[in-house]
A and B are shown apart, each in its own frame.
Chain A
């Protein structure tokens, strides 16, 4: 079955430090999406990656899709307190159009 692991599970950083979360799949992916969920909130779509080796940037956020399309990363430069939340990668379930969410990385930013 679909296996999507994210590391780390938790990350505490000092405000201004960088943060990276990694998403790893046991199978080749057609695409990958990233969502952010603030504490007490709901998942909000950030970005979708489709091409092998693709890199996309949103201000301080950089998203990468691995060459083999089995892994992805989200990097935040100079974290701010507004970056607090859980970051999920999500992939299409095998043989379906539904999303399967990774285990998530909970980011805490210490002011």
Chain B
């Protein structure tokens, strides 16, 4: 089945130790998104790629970076995780062929910062 895959499902890192979260998709969608979701809050968009074009949200900290080496894969790099970065990180995709498309979410990676 076509889907959005995130690995790992749970990630533990140390304060200040760089960490990378990965996302892959078999939907062949043009757009890939990264969201941060803290407990009892709505998903908050960090950035997205439209093909190779990177779009950063204005309030996304510089600590967060992203890479999209090809259509299928997208990575979220947290350069120096702080305790406040502990959250669920959701990857999503959309086809990019319309202005109001459905987004398909992966299962998420829950990040714990010690």
What residues make up the interface of A, taking CB atoms closer than 8 Å to B? 30-31, 33, 41-45, 48, 50, 88, 92, 97-104, 106
- With A42-B90, A44-B105: A31-B100 Cβ-Cβ less than 8 Å: yes
Chain B residues with CB under 8 Å of A97's CB are 99-100
A48 touching B100 by the CB < 8 A rule? yes
Q: How far is the CB of A102 from chain B (nearest CB, A)?
A: 6
Q: A42-B105, A92-B100 are in contact. List 10 more A-B contacts (CB 8 A).
A: A30-B99, A31-B100, A33-B100, A42-B107, A42-B108, A43-B105, A44-B105, A98-B45, A101-B44, A104-B42
Number of interface residues of B (CB under 8 A): 21
Measured CA separation A105–B3 after assembly (Å)? 26
Q: Is B106 an interface residue (CB 8 A)?
A: yes
Chain B residues with CB under 8 Å of A92's CB are 99-100
Measured CA separation A99–B45 after assembly (Å)? 8
Q: How far is the CB of B42 from chain A (nearest CB, A)?
A: 4
Chain B residues with CB under 8 Å of A31's CB are 100
Of the candidates B40, B57, B92, B100, the one whose C-beta lies within 8 Å of that of A50 is B100
Measured CA separation A88–B48 after assembly (Å)? 20
Chain A residues with CB under 8 Å of B99's CB are 30, 92, 97
